[in-house]
Amino acid sequence: MESLTSNLSIQISDRFFVKNPDSSEIGQRIIEWSIILIEEIGFEAFTFKKLAIQIGTTEATIYRYFESKHRLLLYLTCWYWSWMEYRLLFAITNVESAEERLNRSIGLLTEVIEEDSNFSYVNEVKLNNIVIAEASKSYLNKDVDKENKEGAYLNYKKLVQRISEIILEINPNYKYPHMLVSTVIEGAHLQRYFAEHLPGLTDTNSKEDSVAKFFKQMVFKSIE
Amino acid sequence: MESLTSNLSIQISDRFFVKNPDSSEIGQRIIEWSIILIEEIGFEAFTFKKLAIQIGTTEATIYRYFESKHRLLLYLTCWYWSWMEYRLLFAITNVESAEERLNRSIGLLTEVIEEDSNFSYVNEVKLNNIVIAEASKSYLNKDVDKENKEGAYLNYKKLVQRISEIILEINPNYKYPHMLVSTVIEGAHLQRYFAEHLPGLTDTNSKEDSVAKFFKQMVFKSIE
DNA sequence: GCAATAATGATAGTATTACTATTATTATTG
DNA sequence: CAATAATAATAGTAATACTATCATTATTGC
């Protein structure tokens, strides 16, 4: 994506942090390096102590920004879905055909992520890898209902809702738009993960990006 | 499913355990109660200590059966996929039409699970809930490549392979059979979880089981 | 029936984790 | 320049995921 002239920043709801990491240099380093570290060693092995050493601060300081590493993960995934929504808006505004809007939306959700230079201290490629491998852990736990009530998954739901509406524009009688969209999002993540680690569960072809093709075909055939 | 006269037992490869839990009463209680406990409190909060207290033994004894709680989870998911394969064979043998075999296979993977009285100390309904909420954690971690080499996911892959072959029987030109099947399996789990905890991501209808209908439609439209 | 062996129980110990708490020091702001 | 806020340094805690040791109890082979 082309770099924009103005400086952009994704605003994240204060439900995820104690002190806004966007408001200080040390906070920005927390975000920048947590993405690098979590992608490298995985969320289980990631600790605030390791992060503190990496950015030359102390555990106590990080705890003043995030009350737990789980909350930090929620912050990062929320950032990711907000970023996705912003990219979605750019991709589909002024496109008249609903089919083309849907085509672009599914593309956005299933194609390989590239870095976006508009957001300086976030590496979107690494963040995408984190979302692929770790985001499901943010809702696959016993706090899911409490956190859902707090609004932890609102951005994700909003994105699903938006694309569901395009589907209903194309076929108002299609009964499962939300199922279809959430299956595509989670499915695309999994297929990328399988391609890397469990190729027997997918159909990879190094020459072409079959993930996006598979899901586009699946969506358009399902709703016709 | 009807109860069979003979006593069945699912044989699990010895790569998952130190001592076969099927070989002793205490081992069987480990399996029985680990399923009950993990379903109730979640895999994160589950510990060998809690399990030991529950079944009136000690941590040390449980460690003599499983080298870690992660290995126990691999054992349980492996059991689940073996059980699924056994049910699949029952459901499709002697069915001539490939379409009908596929229809039954997808049904098996997406419909609500009912208890199977053939396997005394395993509660399949609870185990299904564990697979839905926890199984992805067994491969979404940094040991995935090592464990894959050890054969930890063979049963899962075998099931995907089997159903992929039915798809290719129906349409030999379909390019993504494995992708489609693994998307259905993981997608069905997720949709059941969403229906319970994040209904905004799905399309539930208490009157009918829309999960199975959605995925059947998706599969048959995708491959035609 | 009894010795040999295996399985289990009881108990202790360790490194790490995910925090909380306290106090001193340094930056920032009015 | 005083007041306030942010950060650093350090210590401490309960829980976790194990490992280790040794005594006790079952099981099996002869």
Which chain A residues are closer than 8 Å to B218 by Cβ? 180, 183, 218, 222
The C-alpha atoms of residue B107 and residue B123 are separated, in whole angstroms, by: 20
Cα separation, A153 vs A16, whole angstroms? 11
The pLDDT score that the predictor gives to residue B26 is: 95
- Asked if residues A70 and A183 have their Cβ atoms less than 8 Å apart, the reply is no
Q: Which two tokens mark A193?
A: 């993960």
- The A 157-186 residues near strand D by Cβ under 7 Å are none
Q: How many secondary structure helices (H) and strands (E) does chain A include?
A: 10, 0
Q: If contacts are CB pairs under 8 Å, which of residues 65-104 in chain A contact chain B?
A: none
Residue B188 in tokens: 């069905």
The answer to whether residue B64 is domain-embedded is no
Task: Sort out which chain A residues have CB atoms less than 8 A from B198's CB and list them.
Answer: 139, 144, 148, 153, 157
A129: chain B residues, CB-CB within 8 Å: none
Backbone angles phi, psi at A121, to 5 degrees: -95, 15
Tell me if A116 is assigned to some domain.
Answer: yes
Residue with tokens 């072409």: A208
Question: How large a percentage of chain B has pLDDT more than 70?
Answer: 96
Work out the angle at residue A134's Cα, subtended by the Cα atoms of residues A133 and A138, and round it to the nearest 5 degrees: 150
Does any domain span residue B67?
Answer: no
Q: Which of B182, B192, B196 to mutate to test the interface with A (most CBs of A within 10 A)?
A: B182
Nucleotide C18 C1' to residue A48 CA (A): 9
Separation in Å, CA A210 to CA A128, A216, A217, B73, B164: 18, 10, 10, 32, 17
Q: What is the DSSP letter of A199?
A: G
Q: In the prediction, which pLDDT does A122 show? A: 94
**pLDDT value, residue A204:** 82
What is the reported pLDDT for A199?
95
* Residue A22 one-letter amino acid: D
How far apart are the C-alpha atoms of A45 and B41, rounded to whole Å? Answer: 22
- A63: nt with nearest C1' to CA: C19
Instruction: Identify whether A15 is part of a domain.
Output: no
Looking at the complex, does the CB of residue B207 fall below 8 Å from at least one CB of chain A? no
Distance between CA B160 and CA B182 in Å, rounded?
6
Which nucleotides on chain D have any atom < 7 A from a protein Cβ?
Answer: 6-11, 16-21
Residue B32 lies in a domain: no
Question: Are B118 and B4 within 8 A, CB to CB?
Answer: yes
CA geometry: angle A11, A16, A19, nearest 5 deg: 80
Give the pair of three-digit tokens for residue A2: 């082309």
Contact B44 A214 (CB under 8 A): no
Q: What is the residue range of B179's domain?
A: 76-223
pLDDT of residue B202: 96
Count of structural domains within chain B: 1
Q: Is B26 exposed, middle or buried (0-12, 13-18, 19+ CB in 10 A)?
A: middle
Nucleic acid strand D within 7 Å of A61 CB: yes
- Report in angstroms the alpha-carbon separations of A84 from A10, A110, A182, B5, B105: 11, 12, 14, 55, 35
B 17-76, residues with C-beta < 7 Å of strand D:
44-45, 47-49, 59-60, 63, 67-70
Give the mean model confidence (pLDDT) for residues B195-218. 90
Calpha distance A162→B117 (Å, rounded): 45
Our CA angle for B14, B18, B22, nearest 5°, is 65
Distance CA A155, CA A16 (A): 13
When scoring A69, A109, A173, A182 by the number of chain B Cβ atoms within 10 A, the one with the most, hence best to mutate, is A182
B76 closest CA partner among B112, B36, B40? B36
pLDDT at B120: 83
**pLDDT tens, position by position, for chain A (224 residues)?**
555 545 678 899 999 999 999 999 999 999 999 999 999 999 999 999 999 999 999 999 999 999 999 999 999 999 999 999 999 999 999 999 999 999 999 999 999 999 998 888 899 999 999 999 999 999 999 999 999 999 999 999 999 999 999 999 999 999 999 999 999 999 999 999 999 999 999 998 766 789 999 999 999 999 99
Q: From CA A34, how far away is CA A52, in angstroms rounded? A: 10
- Residue A59 inside a domain? The answer is no
Cα separation, B189 vs B212, whole angstroms: 11
- Are B194 and A182 an interchain contact pair (Cβ–Cβ within 8 Å)? yes
Give yes or no for A221 touching B (CB within 8 A): yes
Which of A23, A26, A137 lies closest to A77 in space, CA to CA?
A137
Nearest protein residue, CA measured to C1' of D9: A58
Any CB–CB contact under 8 A between B46 and chain A?
no
Residue from the list A148, A177, A180 with its beta carbon closest to the beta carbon of B198: A148
Of B157 and B3, the structure prediction assigns the larger pLDDT to B157
Distance between CA B102 and CA B161 in Å, rounded? 13
Residue environment code for A184-216, b if the CB has 16+ CB neighbours within 10 A, otherwise e: bbbbbbbbbbbbebbebbbbbeeeeebbbbbbb
Confidence of residue B205 (pLDDT cuts 50, 70, 90): confident
* Structure token digits, residue B49: 């200590």
Is B105 in CB contact (< 8 Å) with chain A? no
A129, A157, A183: best to mutate for the B interface, most B CBs within 10 A: A183
**Residue A90 burial class via C-beta count within 10 angstroms: exposed 0-12, middle 13-18, buried 19 and up:** middle
How many helices, marked H, and strands, marked E, lie in chain B? 10, 0
How far does the CA of A30 sit from the C1' of C28, in Å? 21
Distance B48 CA to D17 C1' (A): 9
Give the model's pLDDT for residue A74. Answer: 97
B44 close contact with A: CB closer than 8 A: yes
User: Given this model, what pLDDT does residue B209 score?
Assistant: 83
Long-range contact set of residues B149-157: C-beta below 8 Å, sequence gap at least 24: B150/B15, B151/B13, B151/B15, B152/B15, B152/B16, B152/B74, B152/B78, B153/A198, B153/A200, B153/A201, B154/B13, B155/B78, B155/B81, B155/B82, B155/B85, B156/A201, B156/B77, B156/B81, B157/A198, B157/A200, B157/A201
Min Cα–Cα distance to chain B from A90, Å: 23
The answer to the question of residue A121 being in a domain is: yes
Task: Inform me whether the pLDDT recorded for B5 exceeds 70.
Answer: no
With a cut of 90, say whether residue B1 has pLDDT above it: no
pLDDT at B22 over 90: yes
Q: pLDDT tens, B85-117?
A: 999 999 999 999 999 999 999 999 999 999 998
